[in-house]
Structure 1
Amino acid sequence: MDAPLIAVVLALTLARTQRGADLRGRLTGLIVLPLVAVAASEIGSLMLHHPNYGDTLFALAVSLSIWLRRFGPRAAKAGTILALPFIAILVTPVPLPPGHGATGWSAVIALIAFVCVSITQLAAHRLGFLREPGRTRPTSQQAVTSRDGAQRDQRKRVIPSTRMAVQMGLVLGAAFVIGRFGFTPHWTWTVITAFVVCSANRGRGDVVYKSLLRLAGAAGGTIAATALASLFGPHDNRSIVLIFVVLALANWLRSFSYAYWAGCVTSVLALLQGYFGEVHLSLLGTRLEEILAGAVIAIAVSWFVLPVRTTDVVRRRVADALITLGELLAALCEDPSVLEALAVRFAGNLAQVQQVATPPRAYRAAARHVRLMQRGRFVQLADAIDAVQRCAEPVRLLVQNAGVTSDARPARGTKSLVEEIRRNVATAREVLATYRVPAPRAEPAAVSAR
């Protein structure tokens, strides 16, 4: 059961991280992933027989995968691949038997998962079922100038990738210590929760928001799965069928809310442990305590140790979108043939902005009803996010008008659409003008076990 489980976990995470990867990126993954799987297998064995050494190496490896983002998109992809086998060994309740045979099987399993995901994605892309995500990296001279300025600033402060790597190392270290000494032998729930909450850190507000969703989803998923596992009993094949059903449901519900994903994944972990004999309802309270402990660790470290401010993340992503809008408006007069490409890039910018929109909007909604809350940065940033998102429909219509023949009448005139975009851009720029505008650059996606 452990080998298919590792393959499924790898396939689920690879399906997201490898989407849109080019040939060079896939070849790199094909070479790197089996090698990393071998290392992860050995570290997993150390975690069983020499916990102090294994836990330390695990935390260092995952932190290294985040630190590599500082070297650019390709290094970030390599870092993502580096983290995947470690996530797999963390969520599997029973590892492969120790020995060189097990190490070889780890490489084979990783290779099979990678090849299956790559073939499926390439076929789906060829058939039109899968579209490449929009590119968010700016190419204008303005973006290059801003990036050069940011690089000068980075010499004076710790860059985000280093901050998040240090945070992850401390989070995992604390989670291992508290899990091992406070919840033995069920320590993994603390570590998994701490990792999930802290991974893909988009600022302190995002960590708190993700923690609340994780707690809500995990509590519901744990309660349901613990009850179901007690019905099936150990080594009941019906629980395996249910696990795959829940995994399929998790992938579908993930686009609606992270809470659903957290609940489903937590249910899978509870069902797996039930399959291997842990079917007691008394474990329910312990699991919820571990989840709470892991979330508290992640929030505390992310908030106080080299924090990544939510305002900085939001400002940078809004600035990326504004630069794309500026290039799009300039292209209307200079080169209309690039409008569609710029619209695709703006869609990618908009998706990046949407990822960090919830904390500022939640704060703004609360500030309207709680007099003691300050109506400052978060309220203004929420207004800037709304202004950028209001440009989505005008941009779509501009591209549509560019393809309309001269004798046809568009739904809205180009002049009206341009004016609407400019009004919203002015609103967002007015907010950013109160701060130093961050460097507009793409953020490499981080892998998580969510």
Structure 2
Amino acid sequence: MKRIFVAPDPGRLRLRTSLRAVLGIALAVTAAELTGLPLPASILGGLAALLALFTVGDPTVRGQAGTTALLPVVGLPVLALATALHELPTARDAVFLLVVFCGVYARRWGPRGQALGIFAFMMVFAAQFLHAVPAQLPQLAAAVALALVASSTVRFGIWCLERRTPPPAAPAPLVGRGLARPTTRLAVQNTLACALALAVGQAVSSDRWYWAVGTAWWIFVNTSSRGETLVRGFRRVVGTVVGIAAGLVVAVPLHGAPAPTAALVAVCVFGIFYTAGPSYSWMMFFVTVMAGLLYGLLGVLHPGLLALRFEQTLVGALGAALAVALVLPVTTHAATDAWIQRAVRCVRDCTAASARRLAGDLHADPSPHVAELELLLARVRLSLAPLLHPLSPLRHRKARARQVMTYLDDCAAQVRGLAEVAADPAASHDARLTAACQRVEAVVGTLFAPGAEPAATPETPAATAHHHPGAERALAHLHSLESALTALAHPVRSSPRAPFAAS
């Protein structure tokens, strides 16, 4: 837990986002209660507000508002269909799997597609969680609409963080065609995983089978390789186990008492948002505890139900593992190599923009490339997570992955320093910078070229006193960048199955 609270939080953005989520969801639930809606509707309203605040990730405020406005357009028809099929299990299951496929496939349209797909899936999931029937639909729909208005009032009115610090756009997904397209492949994998989870989950419990489907669904979110999915499944199981243990101590003794339950749910909401980035296991811990508290409010919580929750989580994780291992698998090496190439090319683009800026081109701005590089490095870390996991038995590949991240982090540090120098209006152009930038581009060009030999590590250039200090700092950053890229060739170009010795 200590690592979570000391994790980097630039501008305290995670803290402010978490507090805003608590406020937005509290306002949504309060509005539902004040309008006289029943408890199940209030719970669905709180879930809708949580999803709107958690999943809508467009890079602009206008885009976020547009996606939020589309959530009920997509979610309410799905909710209506799920309630209408409550007594028709075969049709209900078929519609559930269809929503799974469409929801994952929609990720090809970026953050908006992902948010809408998740919202549609969770409306079907919530209908099963609440055992919703057609007679409840008007109240449930009203609660969803009211919650989205309340959460939007907080997000776009009372506390609009993005208007002051707009988040950088997420890196575009890896490309492909046909079944090689990531969204198509994931849609097939996820649908088959959910189908397996649904079948086995119903054999385990005819009432709570949807937990297995939900587990299989969420494991695939933001993953792109077999290793990422397996690690995410493992972390989900760990977080669920710890959350169930906490639920036995916290949620069961409360017996659904409204005031303390509401306070603890608020703590869980904060924990979900605050830990989502640094630790998927801790996020799942808070999700599991919150689910137990909500079951307590509904009056159905008991230790056996929490044990069943664990069983269904194992079923869902197993379904995801089998699907990702046997159906259109993408190896960790293939996914990681693609993300590393994008990160290295971003380094090259940032270098070129910095050089143009130092040469006097005021329209050249390396800062967007620096922001993009940070996101790409986060994606590389996620892709390398299976190899860097403490339980990974692949010793040579773990050593290779560590070196890759060390050299990429060094590249990022040099790029940031170079961009800072370029932003200084007093820094003057130096002819040596052009040659240094050309050497960096040459290293990038040979790094992934088949058969190309990596260049030797360059000698450190001697400082020249009569040159401008800004040019000297820029040259030092370029030299260090060239050295890091040259060293990166060793772990990147070596075979992932060959014995590896640190250079």
TM range (shorter): 0.7 to 0.9
1:60 maps to amino acid:
L
Residues 24-43 of structure 1 aligned to structure 2 (within 5 Å)? 25-26=63-64, 28-43=66-81
> Offset at 1:23?
5.9
Residues 325-340 of structure 1 aligned to structure 2 (within 5 Å)? 325-336=347-358, 337-340=364-367
| Partner SS, residue 303 of structure 2 | coil
The answer to whether the 8 A contact 2:386-2:392 is kept is no
1:419 maps to amino acid:
H
* Aligned equivalent of 1:87, options 122, 138, 143: 122
Residues 264-275 of structure 1 aligned to structure 2 (within 5 Å)? 264-275=286-297
The answer to whether the 8 A contact 2:189-2:327 is kept is yes
* Aligned equivalent of 1:414, options 474, 481, 487: 474
Give the whole-Å Cα distance in 1 for the aligned partners of 2:337 and 2:154: 35
Change (3 A) 1:170 1:46: farther
Aligned to 1:439: none
Give the whole-Å Cα distance in 2 for the aligned partners of 1:296 and 1:365: 18
* Aligned equivalent of 1:342, options 366, 369, 376: 369
Give the whole-Å Cα distance in 1 for the aligned partners of 2:96 and 2:193: 12
Aligned to 1:359: 386
The answer to whether the 8 A contact 1:7-1:109 is kept is yes
Give the whole-Å Cα distance in 1 for the aligned partners of 2:404 and 2:227: 17
* Aligned equivalent of 2:195, options 173, 184, 188: 173
| Partner SS, residue 131 of structure 1 | coil
Give the whole-Å Cα distance in 2 for the aligned partners of 1:97 and 1:47: 8
1:295-342 per-residue CA deviation (whole Å, 9 max, x = no partner) reads: 111111111111122222211111111111111222333344312222
Give the whole-Å Cα distance in 1 for the aligned partners of 2:392 and 2:401: 13
The answer to whether the 8 A contact 1:167-1:302 is kept is yes
Give the whole-Å Cα distance in 1 for the aligned partners of 2:483 and 2:158: 40
Change (3 A) 1:411 1:274: farther
1:252-311 per-residue CA deviation (whole Å, 9 max, x = no partner) reads: 223331111011101111111122122322333322222111111111111111112222
Aligned to 2:99: 61
1:322-380 per-residue CA deviation (whole Å, 9 max, x = no partner) reads: 11111122233334431222212222222222222311223897444xxxxxx35x654
* Aligned equivalent of 1:105, options 142, 164, 168: 142
Aligned to 2:17: none
> Offset at 1:118?
4.4
The answer to whether the 8 A contact 2:45-2:144 is kept is no
Q: Which runs of 5+ in 2 are unaligned?
A: 1-38, 359-363, 429-467, 496-503
> Offset at 1:56?
1.5
Change (3 A) 1:195 1:319: same
2:368 maps to amino acid:
A
Aligned to 1:189: 211
Greater Rg over alpha carbons, structure: 2
* Residues matched between the structures, number: 411
Give the TM-score normalised by the residue count of structure 1.
0.81
Aligned to 2:276: 254
Give the whole-Å Cα distance in 2 for the aligned partners of 1:382 and 1:295: 27
Aligned to 1:143: none
> Offset at 1:117?
5.8
Give the TM-score normalised by the residue count of structure 2.
0.73
Change (3 A) 1:341 1:383: same
The answer to whether the 8 A contact 2:48-2:148 is kept is no
> Offset at 1:251?
1.7
1:263 maps to amino acid:
F
> Offset at 1:246?
1.5
> Offset at 1:381?
4.6
Give the whole-Å Cα distance in 2 for the aligned partners of 1:255 and 1:40: 29
* Aligned equivalent of 1:292, options 314, 320, 345: 314
The answer to whether the 8 A contact 1:168-1:199 is kept is no
Q: Which runs of 5+ in 1 are unaligned?
A: 139-146, 369-374, 436-450
Aligned to 2:422: 402
Matched, 1:51 2:60: no
Give the whole-Å Cα distance in 2 for the aligned partners of 1:68 and 1:282: 37
> Offset at 1:79?
4.4
1:184 maps to amino acid:
S
Aligned to 2:343: 321
1:343 maps to amino acid:
V
Aligned to 2:52: 14
1:214-273 per-residue CA deviation (whole Å, 9 max, x = no partner) reads: 111110101211332321114644222211222112222233311110111011111111
The answer to whether the 8 A contact 2:216-2:320 is kept is yes
Deviant stretches of 4+, over 6 Å = none
Give the whole-Å Cα distance in 1 for the aligned partners of 2:471 and 2:254: 59
Give the whole-Å Cα distance in 1 for the aligned partners of 2:318 and 2:391: 24
Give the whole-Å Cα distance in 2 for the aligned partners of 1:254 and 1:26: 19
Give the whole-Å Cα distance in 1 for the aligned partners of 2:471 and 2:264: 50
Aligned to 1:238: 260
Aligned to 1:201: 223
Give the whole-Å Cα distance in 1 for the aligned partners of 2:471 and 2:297: 59
Matched, 1:388 2:408: yes
1:88-134 per-residue CA deviation (whole Å, 9 max, x = no partner) reads: 452573255524624642662464266336415972223x3x43125
The answer to whether the 8 A contact 1:230-1:274 is kept is yes
Give the whole-Å Cα distance in 2 for the aligned partners of 1:379 and 1:113: 49
Aligned to 1:218: 240
Give % identity.
21
